Amino acid sequence: AYLAYCPAARASCAAKNSGRCNNHIRKNEPKVVDMIDVEDIAEKAAFCRCWKTKNWPYCDGSHGEHNKQTGDNVGPIVIKK
């Protein structure tokens, strides 16, 4: 079973001015798509939805600084088995 994960679908994603939310993740690709087999998730995994993580597609806590600087309220999606 595969989980199609598309954080770009989030409404709050658009950055001010450019309309872009992805500033550094795999910018050489026309579209960032990740396929994760649910069977490969141990007990739970947190996936980034803010596009600020340095460990894509996983949350590394960078959303906290983003929220602090922008007043946003984004956070990860947590998948549990």
- Whole-number minimum distance, CB 37 to ligand FES, in Å? 21
Query: Residues, the chain, total?
Result: 81
Q: Quote the least distance from Cβ 13 to ligand FES, whole Å.
A: 11
- Choice between 1 and 44, CB closer to ligand FES: 44
Active site residue 31: yes
CA distance 12 to 56: 19
Active-site choice (31, 44, 80, 81): 31
Q: Indicate the residue among 5 and 53 with the shorter CB distance to ligand FES.
A: 53
- Residue 12: closest CA among 3, 23, 21, 4: 21
Q: In sequence order, which residues have a C-beta less than 8 Å from that of residue 71 and are 6 or more positions away?
A: none
Query: Site residues (CB under 6 A) for ligand FES?
Result: 48-50, 52-53, 59-63, 74-76
